[in-house]
């Protein structure tokens, strides 16, 4: 039986203007992507991607948060300067707090344990 399979693409937005990162919102990005698909693939493409599109962006965001948290831990282990170390420790602690509050909503994560181990070392 042929099933619909989901594919996730994690992309990085590259721009000349560094300020555009601050103004770019979730909904704006979704709208831009939909417009581009409509232009390149027409009415057929826009209809094909309209189902469950917003949900896939959320899943990519969740993965990106986990990935960035792991990168922070790696940086923490490798950094030599004390000031940098404190700054990274603060960022990791902040991300763990956010993670705990999202865990209450029901998302399962093992990042918190890794962070606690790294901070202790």
Partner 1 sequence: MEFEESWSQRIMRIDPSDYHYMKVCLEFEEHGIGLNAAQFKQLLVSALQELFGEVGAALPFDVLTYEEKTLKAILRVCNSGFVKLWSSLTMLGSYKGNKCAFRVIQVSPFLLALSGNSRELVLD
The residue ranges that bind partner 1 (CB under 8 A) are 37-45
Nearest approach in angstroms of CB 36 to partner 1 is 10
Closer to partner 1 by Cβ: residue 42 or 77: 42
CA–CA gap between residue 69 and residue 62 (Å, rounded):
11
Nearest approach in angstroms of CB 97 to partner 1 is 45
The full length of the chain comes to 121
Closer to partner 1 by Cβ: residue 43 or 110: 43
Q: Report CA 63 to chain centroid distance, whole Å.
A: 5
Nearest approach in angstroms of CB 38 to partner 1 is 7
Closer to partner 1 by Cβ: residue 48 or 54: 48
Closer to partner 1 by Cβ: residue 48 or 93: 48
CB atoms within 10 A of CB 84: 13
CA–CA gap between residue 34 and residue 53 (Å, rounded):
9
CB atoms within 10 A of CB 69: 20
Nearest approach in angstroms of CB 35 to partner 1 is 11
């Amino acid at each position: 039986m042929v099933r619909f399979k989901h594919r996730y693409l994690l992309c990085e937005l590259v721009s000349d203007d560094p300020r555009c990162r601050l103004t770019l919102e979730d909904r704006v990005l979704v709208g831009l992507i939909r417009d581009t698909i409509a232009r390149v693939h027409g009415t057929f493409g826009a209809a094909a991607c309209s189902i469950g599109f917003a949900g896939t962006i959320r899943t990519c965001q969740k993965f990106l948060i986990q990935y960035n948290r792991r990168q922070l831990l790696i940086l923490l282990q490798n950094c030599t300067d004390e000031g940098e170390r404190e700054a990274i420790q603060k960022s990791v602690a902040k991300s763990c707090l956010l993670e705990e509050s999202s865990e209450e909503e029901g998302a399962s994560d093992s990042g918190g344990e890794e962070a606690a181990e790294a901070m202790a070392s």
